[in-house]
Amino acid sequence: MTSTTYPGVYPEQVEELRQRTREFIRGTVIPLEPRPGQALNLTVRRELGEAARAAGVYAPHMPREFGGQGLALEHCSPVFQEAGYSPIGPAALNCMAPDEGNMHLLNLLGTPDQKRRYLAPLAAGTVSSCFAMTEPHPGAGSDPAALATTAVRDGHHWVITGHKRFTSGATFAGFAIVMARTPESPAPAGGAQAGKDAGGATAGATMFLVPMDTPGVHVGASIHTTDKYLPGGHPHVHFDGVRVPENAVLGKAGLGFAHAQARLGPARLTHCMRWLGLARRALDIALDRSSTREIFGAHISQLGIAQEMIAASVIDLETSDAIIGKCAMLLGIDAKAGSALSSVAKVHCSEAVYRVIDRAVQLCGGDGVSDGLPLAQYLNEVRPFRIYDGATETHKWAIARRASSARRREVEAGEPFQGAARVDDGEQQ
């Protein structure tokens, strides 16, 4: 694997888990990978999950009380990268999106009853989930403020109406976390009987836990995308007057956008971790090929132009690794600053990972674009990441706005304004 182990960077138990994960992925998972372009068989996924439990690598991100390995976010990267070395590795370890992000959110915001009903089986792998946020235009996409799905209070229930798309994993999901716009509303009459979640709601958005077999929930047409490994795909989902009780609210009513940030920052980062592992696999494939194939009387790896491509890929991998590590640490200290940096990490890593895999394809020539190697499918898998979780251009827009605002505040606080025109000595006289 094209990476260096740095002794002392991570605690000993993290390094041990990384090594166990590495051995499990190479020895157990990779031999069971589907052919390029085929989804992971659900029976094989369950079998791999049981094997992961036996190997002590299952659900690395979850607390031990839910059957996980108890890793904090700042220690997840080396393990998630090892899992991502196989495109089905994260699914085998139950740290795949969208379930991994939903577990994080439920663990952070869920009531004891919600954790028992939803988080425990999700962590155990007995059910899967989806996150229903993205909508057809002009609804929510890169701009969450365009959220069109609504939820209105009706006594001790909420009624959800809307249309979602790109609802990853919805086909086989047991429940969805649904984002809906909610108006300001008072508490229902007899609110004390409805429990602590029966208070009034401020206008905004609210997250709801909705079992997929609830009347009015309909999984619609599949959206055929370039990525194929995720079971359940990315279908449309319709919510036609779906009634859910008060205790279906996840977190606080009206605070859905704030809660979404608590999910999206870490979820962007764990996406980066997993895909970085796959990029390392792609470069390993290219290195193996370039070290054995000869052209013009020399191994490909000895040619200057190939060496430039290899070096550029190593640089992309290591800079991505570094920004992931910094962002993971910051998210544990300052959630707002960490979320802002996660936009930078997401842009850099999604673009860098694609470049690394694309160079690997090029280094492998005709075989790189055939199904004799998995590289072309890897490109198909990672290409959507430059759009999913916020397109690169949307993140760049937000990054630039934050940079300008931060500098303006510094100047207003008395720091020297660096944009002032210079006055030379002649003008001063």
pLDDT of residue 232: 78
pLDDT digits (tens, 9 = 90+) for 372-411: 999 999 999 999 999 998 899 999 999 999 999 999 999 9
314: which 2 tokens? 């190593």
Right CATH for 129-253 from 2.40.110.10, 3.30.365.10, 1.10.10.10, 3.40.1000.10? 2.40.110.10
- Topology of the domain covering 12-96: Butyryl-Coa Dehydrogenase, subunit A; domain 1 (1.10.540)
What backbone phi and psi angles, to 5 degrees, belong to 68? -95, -170
More confident site: 158 or 233: 158
Whether 12-96 shares its CATH topology with 129-253 is answered no
pLDDT digits (tens, 9 = 90+) for 230-270: 777 899 999 999 999 999 999 999 999 999 988 888 999 99
pLDDT band at 195 (very low <50, low <70, confident <90, very high): very low
CB atoms within 10 A of CB 422: 5
| Closest C-alpha to 86, from 22, 18, 43 | 22
pLDDT of residue 29: 98
The helix (run of H) or strand (run of E) holding residue 182 is: strand 175-182
If DSSP states are collapsed to H, E and C, what string results for 340-368?
HHHHHHHHHHHHHHHHHHHHHHHHCHHHH
- Topology of the domain covering 258-412: Butyryl-CoA Dehydrogenase, subunit A; domain 3 (1.20.140)
pLDDT of residue 214: 98
CB atoms within 10 A of CB 420: 7
In the chain, how many H helices and how many E strands?
14, 10
pLDDT digits (tens, 9 = 90+) for 106-128: 999 999 999 999 999 999 999 99
pLDDT of residue 202: 63
185: which 2 tokens? 């509303």
Q: What is the pTM of this model?
A: 0.90
First to last CA, the chain: 65
What is the domain partition of the chain in residue ranges?
A: 12-96, 129-253, 258-412
pLDDT of 194 strictly over 60: no
pLDDT digits (tens, 9 = 90+) for 40-71: 888 999 999 999 999 999 999 999 999 999 99
Q: What letter represents residue 218's amino acid?
A: H
